Amino acid sequence: MDPDGCATPVVDAERVSSVRRSLPSEETVQDLAQVFGLLADPGRLRMMAALLEGGEMCVCDLAAATGQSMSGASHALRLLRMRRVVKVRRSGRMAYYQLADSHVRMLFDLAITHARHTERESGDG
């Protein structure tokens, strides 16, 4: 709201405004946050991992493979579809899903690598 900060004291004003100018646009930030939000759910994460392996799968197999209900899987796939993370191919009454976006594949792969290399201690500092 305020272009230069009023309520918060500032130590290094130059640095602050320089960093400020370098930040991604509001739109980019929102967009990024939404994509990460999609990845922040275990069910959806497993779905993407499944599609990464399985290539193309129908909803019921996807649900079974990731331990979700059909309805839950469908809701999840809807969100992923809306964000263009997956794409669907229809054949009769079946719906076959696959990953749509290679960036997300890379993101996902990198994240898995990150997880594998990370100690799983959580502490405060």
Partner DNA sequence: ACTACAGTTGAACGATCCTTCATACATTGG
Partner DNA sequence: CCAATGTATGAAGGATCGTTCAACTGTAGT
For its own copies, the binding residue among 74, 76, 83, 91 (CB under 8 A) is 83
Give the x/- contact pattern for DNA in 80-99, rule: CB under 7 A. --------x---xxxxx---
Question: By CB under 7 A, is residue 59 in contact with DNA?
Answer: yes
Instruction: Determine the Cα–Cα distance for residues 101 and 38; give it in Å rounded to an integer.
Output: 14
Q: Residue holding tokens 């999609």?
A: 38
CB 99 within 8 A of CB 44: no
**Binders of its own copies in range 95-124 (CB under 8 A):** 101, 103-104, 106-107, 110-118, 120-124
**Binders of DNA in range 1-20 (CB under 7 A):** 9, 11
Instruction: Determine the Cα–Cα distance for residues 43 and 41; give it in Å rounded to an integer.
Output: 6
Among 18, 82, 123, 92, smallest CA distance to 74 is for 82
Question: By CB under 7 A, is residue 60 in contact with DNA?
Answer: yes
